[in-house]
Structure 1
């Protein structure tokens, strides 16, 4: 006996919607029968979401493009608004955002207002990554495509006023390279590297200081690398 997995796919390009469905349909998901619902604009998506909730068969997974023809009558102007509607109507629905944009300000809004399980930048995913992302979020984990991750990391660097040399120093430290050997990888003197490390420890560790291992742990906790 297979359990139905109700999947909503919203994109204003019919060929894109059909492509997503074909990719997922060709994969076997043991114990599940995939059932797809298409929407090409905000109105269609709104109607499907409300009807699914009222019928007692809400969507388990929703793929939402952000740029969509609006449904002004219901104040639904984008995939962002649809995501918020889904979160209210079906809190347990797994939401995956599809977008051409990767600006950190947009990603911040998505996380704060919707907290989707996946955010995929259309320009850096292929069929294999699309399918892999589905499996990861369905298993209960979060998936961010590479441009989304880079955007978030770059924002963290901007927030802490760290430049490309700082980033290279941090990368070398996480690779286990001793400070004394870092000048072999970066065109800075050992004195400059030590000074940059001291400044980063002061910034990232809130003035507590500490050794290189503690700096690495601080880096990982903040999510810089």
Structure 2
């Protein structure tokens, strides 16, 4: 049975580089079968198609920032990782990101708890296959920048939760604050407090909802 590796990145050259690095005989005794994708839509369809065929994904390498698939509410690599965990529970997941802001790092670790989470600025042609081999051997690998972000979050004592993500998502859809309690089980005052905290951390209280959503999208949350 082939060893199926899903690689999703919006830069085809990056995808091809990963394939070349993981095609070396020294990487795996089993010849890998690569499934390449460059956006959330094609990746979503591949993941679903493989599930229907009872074909497992053994290893997934996902960029966090990807072109979204709005029809299925798949906005980034984090959402793809959630889908993979649901449909291919035996898959080991490596997420790569250019953004190591504490909110993104905490969301990934809390929601996905991936086997690997790496800042792209800390990986090169030599270290990448070594990281992948360690993950496949059962180790959990987080890069230094990711660990630093975790420490910053602990120092700030800011607890980012699922409701915070839902509030941001609803705001981005144009849902008014007064109507958000109809979508999540929180009071309007609780929602306003959460939004104020988010706004303080993202914008230092400067700007409105539009600026907040734009900043969040820039950082890969939506």
CA distance in 2, matches of 1:43, 1:13: 15
Match of 2:138 in 1: 140
5+ residue gaps, structure 2, are 159-222
- Is the CA contact (8 Å cut-off) linking 1:6 and 1:36 kept in structure 2? yes
What displacement does 1:149 show? 1.5
* TM-score where L is the length of structure 2: 0.67
| C-alpha distance in structure 1 between counterparts of 2:39 and 2:28, whole Å | 32
Indicate how the Cα distance of structure 1 residues 152 and 21 shifts in structure 2: closer, same or farther if over 3 A, else same. Answer: same
**Shift of residue 92, structure 1, vs aligned partner:** 1.3
Counterpart-to-counterpart distance in 1, 2:148 and 2:110: 18
Unaligned runs of 5+ in 1: 161-225
Task: Specify which structure has the bigger relative contact order, considering alpha-carbon pairs within 8 angstroms and separated by 6 or more residues.
Answer: 2
TM-score by length of 1: 0.67
Partners of 2:109 and 2:145 lie apart in 1 by: 15
Shift of 1:107: 1.1
Q: How many residues align?
A: 158
Q: Find 2:32's aligned residue among 16, 19, 34.
A: 34
Aligned to 1:92: 90
Shift of 1:26: 2.0
Distance (Å, rounded) in 2 between the aligned partners of 1:99 and 1:40:
15
> What is the CA-CA distance between 1:33 and the residue it aligns to?
1.3
Greater Cα radius of gyration, structure 1 or 2 = 1
Give matches, 1:43-58, under 5 Å.
Answer: 43-58=41-56
Q: 38, 41, 60: which one pairs with 2:58?
A: 60
